[in-house]
Structure 1
Amino acid sequence: IIFYEDKNFQGRSYECSSDCSDLSSYFNRCNSIRVENGNWILYEEPNYKGYQYYLRRGDYPDFQQWMGFNDSIRSCHLTTQHRGPFILKVYEKEDFKGQMMEFTEDCQCVYEKFRYHDIHSCNVLDGHWMFYEEPNYKGRQYYLKPGEYRRFTNWGANNSRITFYEDKNFKGRSYECSSDNNDLHSHVSRCNSIKVDNGSWMIYEQANNKGHQYFLKRGEYPDYQHWMGFNDTISSCHMIPLHTGAFLIKLYEKEDLRGQVVEFTEDHPHIYQDFNYREIHSCNVIEGHWIFYEEPNYKGRQYYLRPGEYRNFSDWGAVNARVGSIRRVQEFY
């Protein structure tokens, strides 16, 4: 497999022929891929975490071709070749309880054969399988090798859910969402209240995850002031993947990861107290997902940062280099 930093197989590239738990040192971003042989699972984060993507032999000139959400690919796994039969058992409830159905072939719409919309556990008896969140092999993907999966979190899934309401206090037209959505306009014309049933979310003022950003965790937000919003416009949302490991971020005084550096592993309400400089011009998110706040005590404009290098404050969507506080995204269900 060959990774390219730019679209259409341009820019710096890296060729790989086996598993790699951290691709960060070989390229900063990934906008196109060529798979010459084998079947591969790519991951948004190091150590095989975050969003997963299944790629077989072929050319992928941009990340939309592998149904990617962004240009971040940080680890890869070469799946072993399987020549025998394929057997998968899915269950209605956790721990292999409730109704069960057995599959030996691909199925593009599980709902049509299995009366339940949710699968809470499964047993992969033979072969390697991909789960897709939506029918017709679309939506978030999950790789399953032979073994028992007693809960959906065992294959990397979660039950995140957010509901947008047009009016305050959870009234008026509403729209329930369980995955990323780049344009909410067809579902709600405005947003004045939100309920987050599960997961951690970034919501955006503009379509395609642009404009003012707001971080929401599980809870109720009866009006837009409760998420520190400037108005009732919410046009896109992103579900932040579950991260269960360590957190590590490095902040730099100058652009391109230069100058004085300070390292954080926990939330910090007042960056100025530990870092002599009032501005952060670049950073490196090594582990976990983080939120930057423009002001101390987690106030002001917010910016979401996933693992990767940010060589200029504009890379995380800011209009200036001011960072007053930082917070880890820790999901609780």
Structure 2
Amino acid sequence: MQTGQSWVLYEKPNFKGEKIALDEGDIELTYPFDPPEEEEEQQSQRNGENGQNGQKVGGEEVVAAKPDRRFIIGSVRRAVRDYSVPEISLFPEENAEGKKVIFRDTSDDARIFGFPIKANSIIINAGLWLVYAQPFFQGVPRVLEVGGFPNPAAWGVEQPYVGSVHPLKIGEPRVEKPGEPKLVLYDKPYFTGKSRVIYTNMRDFMTRMDRRQTAFMCSAGSIKVQGGCWVGYEKEGFRGHQYLLEEGEYHDWRVW
């Protein structure tokens, strides 16, 4: 089980080869980049027919042992949080030529007049997309990241048809208590040191400039967001770099 993040598994090192996208939740994987056992059995039978499956020793035929299947993952990448609207553009011709078809959300049946969309080239403007050749998410999807795919080989297919598409919901804020905003600030990492609970907007908690403040903190070492979705600012007065803080725990500044 994995929670709060989306990941992409790659068949080879350096983020090469086949890809599998893991969304939040329980996912069972069985030898993700090995050929199915049926294909292995067929290959083994062909090898036997060609005389490669065994040899005679002392008048008896010795059959080679079936190799063990191995669970191999070449590299792993955490999907970058992206709060923009997902967008995929499908083009009937290579190199993004022809009238494009755009999707910005899930389509369980992307067929037009009963026929799959011909997509000789694809551009992903935002999001991480699962692209299926059949409608209703049948078959093994192609996992496409942001970028351009000028021909079918670039996005890993021989027949450039699309029957359904689905963007993974990467980085959507998780808010279970939108009506109960509560944030706890600690001046040291790992939720230690002096703390302060905040329930509403606070324009300056680190200096004495706000006369209404009776206590101040020199730094924010760690944060617990116990309710709502907050925006933290680098400087007082809602200035500087912004940080979107959803419900959860941030044990030091590197986390947010």
Q: TM-score, normalised by structure 2?
A: 0.46
> More relative contact order in 1 or in 2 (CA 8 Å, sep 6+)?
2
Q: Which has the higher strand share?
A: 1
Query: TM-score, length-normalised on structure 1?
Result: 0.36
Q: Which has the larger radius of gyration?
A: 2
